Amino acid sequence: MKVNIHSIVPNPDQPRTLFDQAELEGLAQSIKENGLIQPIVVEEAGDQYILIDGERRWRACQLAELKQIEVVVRPSSNHNGLERLTKALVANIQRSDMGPVDEARAYERLIREIGSSNALAKKLGVSQATISTRLDLLGFPGPVQKLYNMRRLHVDTSTIAAMKRLNPEQQIRLATQAATRGWSSATLMRLISITIKNGGGMAAGPKKRNKKEVKPVDGHFDALAMINGKTLPENVQAAAIKTCQACSLYPEASVAICKECPLPDFLRRVEITKNA
């Protein structure tokens, strides 16, 4: 059946908080051209309808300036919103398009209502390990939670466990760098290990290096330490050092860190071209 789009109100228990505006605009254009393929799911509430599943489609239909929208009406839920929250959470989990922190907050609330993570896992059909990993995200500072929720960081059990060993300031610093630079989980793990080893990321003294590591240039490890560097023009060397010093990872730079940077490879190609 079709109902007036303005008679629908958002689910007050909707666990999802992130909706990409560009994706909504693209979906709105598709709906204009092809119509709404899958109806949204609503629940009767007097002369209105509460949205249960399909808020992204409902928002896109509003952008497309539709007056009516196709809906599937389900029976009313209990008054405490538990069923609405559960239905919305299940719908989002099945589509895998929900932010992991939004998911964690919903799990946390449902556990308070249901009584245990085991009971919740059975009700939702997800593993306890998944619930536990998501709940761990709620222990991080707000900026880190936001990065996880935006999927700028991988929800990796080992990395999350390692991150929990850092203090909030370190967590925010490394998470921001990982998201900005697109680090893999393995790279982030290496940086976490280095930070823990150095007691916060700043070396207290000269770093111990094994035989395979490259010797720092002038007491500091930078891109020039990854290559010969001595045959490069002085202005190129100076520019490289200045670039490295501007990097937020410069104080704890090492082979493990700098090999993730494109600058050493660029300098190596410049050196080869000059000497050719």
What is the crossing angle of helices 100-114 and 142-149, to 10°? 110
- Token pair, residue 152, equals 């700028």
| Angstrom distance (rounded) from CA 127 to CA 117 | 9
Tokens 């308070």 appear where? 112
DSSP state of 14: -
Structure confidence at residue 125 (pLDDT): 79
Which one is catalytic: 43, 55, 252, 271? 55
The overall average pLDDT reported for the chain is 79
Asked about 55 being catalytic, the answer comes back as yes
Would you list the domain boundaries of the chain? 2-97, 207-276
Position 152 scores a pLDDT of 87
Average pLDDT across each block of 10 residues of the chain; the chain has 276 residues. List them in order. Answer: 88 70 82 84 84 85 90 71 69 67 87 84 84 94 90 90 92 89 88 82 38 50 77 84 79 68 83 70
**Partners of 109 in beta bridges:** none
**Residue 207: predicted pLDDT:** 42
pLDDT of residue 201: 45
Given this structure, which CATH class describes domain 2-97?
A: alpha beta
- pTM for the full predicted model: 0.52
